[in-house]
Amino acid sequence: MSTVESRYPFSMPSGWFAVAESPDVEIGQTKAIYYFATHLVLWRDETGEAHVQDAFCPHLGAHLGHGGSVDGCQVVCPFHGWKFDGEGNNTEIPYSDRTNKKARIRSFPTLERNGFVYAWYHPNDEPPTWEVEAVADIDSDEFYGPKRWTQVVQAGIQEMGENAVDSAHFRYVHNVADVPEIIRYEPDGHRSYMESNQKFPTPRGVVNGQINSTADGPGVSIVRFNGIIDTLLVTASTPIDPNQTQTRFNFYVRSLGDEATNSSVGDAFANEVIKQFTEDMPIWEHKAHIVRPALADNDGPFMKFRRWYSQFYAGQSETETPVSVERTVFPPPYWPDKMDEVPGKGTASVKHGGSAL
């Protein structure tokens, strides 16, 4: 169970979540990272395998990602030189003849696909029940990329995921004249598939396009846009804690031949997606989670999405008790920094407190 209290009626889902871009952690490197409300160390051993472990050395608590080093297939603590293997076993105490068998570090299952290092998170440390699917197009010469982008959002991962099935908001949040039409939404085990039609504005007029997305659990989604030119978006969303999420986007375009064209088309595609994401942010951050939303007939498949998503909380203590009947609205905390009028804050105090001494 997370030590950070959730502002939602659910905590963090289980699944594979990106903790780094593969090129950002080199052989022999250690990194301090923080996801799943946990301080973690990410390191890559001499065989190229990446490891994600609890950050704190069981000896006296040094952070292995701050000054720790890698020796072959072991991570070395910066404080007293103890060594641990990829499974978290103590393999050496340099000033003692014996190791300490009780000194173990929690190790997260990892796998590397699609340009990301993924860690498996489960609040009860249960083992993975699937693997992230590799997207073959990424490694083919036909696709150009990736162009990378990342953003931290003060909202829970499920709330952001729900955006995918919300077709009506495109008109109001993104100023899209024709909202995408969801023609198929199909949960299938830990995956879900969605197909929609959308009109894309281009300098040469509006073009009909299709969007196909596959969610590979709650943390990974592969989105293909067809119509103008084929583009591919690999998204990775990772809970920092129950209330904040880091999203990473890797954009690819089907190569049009020369590098300059690929790059400018890729930029235009990425900029549009990033613009829309940025427009969604204030909604996500300030919205309440409504347990029983009042929906219109032709709203997207929200409840289907939520039912699919609930499998990733299975067996978690926070969600074993169903949401109380008294409480069905879960608002964000009071953030003075984000309010328009706060006594004592910048403009407000000048306006109202100008004469006060």
Q: Which residues bind ligand FES (CB under 6 A)?
A: 57, 59-62, 77, 79-80, 82
- Considering the complex, state which of residue 27 and residue 60 has its C-beta at the smaller distance from ligand FES: 60
Pairwise CA distance, residues 350 & 357, whole Å: 12
> Computed from CA positions of residues 86, 151, 21, 232, in that sequence, does the dihedral angle turn out positive or negative?
positive
Report the partner that residue 34 touches, choosing among Fe ion, ligand FES, none (CB closer than 5 to 8 A by kind). none
Q: How far is the CB of 178 from Fe ion (least distance, A)?
A: 15
Please provide residue 233's backbone torsions phi and psi, each rounded to the nearest 5 degrees: -125, 120
Pairwise CA distance, residues 231 & 135, whole Å: 13
Report the partner that residue 280 touches, choosing among Fe ion, ligand FES, none (CB closer than 5 to 8 A by kind). Fe ion
Q: How far is the CB of 174 from Fe ion (least distance, A)?
A: 6
- Considering the complex, state which of residue 62 and residue 73 has its C-beta at the smaller distance from ligand FES: 62
Report the partner that residue 59 touches, choosing among ligand FES, Fe ion, none (CB closer than 5 to 8 A by kind). ligand FES
Which residue is listed with tokens 């209290």? 5
Q: How far is the CB of 167 from Fe ion (least distance, A)?
A: 10
Report the partner that residue 1 touches, choosing among ligand FES, Fe ion, none (CB closer than 5 to 8 A by kind). none
Report the partner that residue 183 touches, choosing among ligand FES, Fe ion, none (CB closer than 5 to 8 A by kind). none
Report the partner that residue 79 touches, choosing among ligand FES, Fe ion, none (CB closer than 5 to 8 A by kind). ligand FES
Q: How far is the CB of 28 from Fe ion (least distance, A)?
A: 40
Which residue is listed with tokens 């709330």? 159
Report the partner that residue 82 touches, choosing among Fe ion, ligand FES, none (CB closer than 5 to 8 A by kind). ligand FES
Q: Applying CB under 5 A, which residues contact Fe ion?
A: 163, 280
Pairwise CA distance, residues 195 & 182, whole Å: 6
- Considering the complex, state which of residue 175 and residue 208 has its C-beta at the smaller distance from Fe ion: 175
- Considering the complex, state which of residue 92 and residue 195 has its C-beta at the smaller distance from ligand FES: 92
H helical segments located in 157-296: 157-161, 169-173, 259-286
Pairwise CA distance, residues 238 & 309, whole Å: 15
Q: How far is the CB of 68 from ligand FES (least distance, A)?
A: 9
Q: How far is the CB of 97 from ligand FES (least distance, A)?
A: 16
Report the partner that residue 62 touches, choosing among Fe ion, ligand FES, none (CB closer than 5 to 8 A by kind). ligand FES
Report the partner that residue 185 touches, choosing among Fe ion, ligand FES, none (CB closer than 5 to 8 A by kind). none
For every residue of 17-85, DSSP letters joined together read: EEEEEGGGS-TT-EEEEEETTEEEEEEE-TTS-EEEEESB-TTT--BTTSS-EEETTEEE-TTT--EEE
- Considering the complex, state which of residue 62 and residue 168 has its C-beta at the smaller distance from ligand FES: 62
Q: How far is the CB of 66 from ligand FES (least distance, A)?
A: 11
163: three-class secondary structure by DSSP? helix
214: three-class secondary structure by DSSP? strand
- Considering the complex, state which of residue 80 and residue 148 has its C-beta at the smaller distance from ligand FES: 80
**Amino acid of residue 187:** P
Q: How far is the CB of 269 from Fe ion (least distance, A)?
A: 16
Determine how many CB atoms are found less than 10 A away from the CB of residue 152.
Answer: 12
Q: How far is the CB of 52 from ligand FES (least distance, A)?
A: 18
257: three-class secondary structure by DSSP? coil
- Considering the complex, state which of residue 19 and residue 57 has its C-beta at the smaller distance from ligand FES: 57
The closest residue (CB) to Fe ion is 280
- Considering the complex, state which of residue 82 and residue 120 has its C-beta at the smaller distance from ligand FES: 82
Residues whose CB falls within 8 Å of the CB of residue 335, separated by 6 or more in sequence, listed in order: none
For the chain, how many residues are written?
Answer: 357
- Considering the complex, state which of residue 59 and residue 169 has its C-beta at the smaller distance from ligand FES: 59
Q: Report CA-CA distances (Å) from 215 to 20, 95, 194, 251, 282.
A: 19, 49, 9, 16, 24
Q: Write the burial class of residue 146 (CB in 10 Å: 0-12 exposed, 13-18 middle, 19+ buried).
A: buried
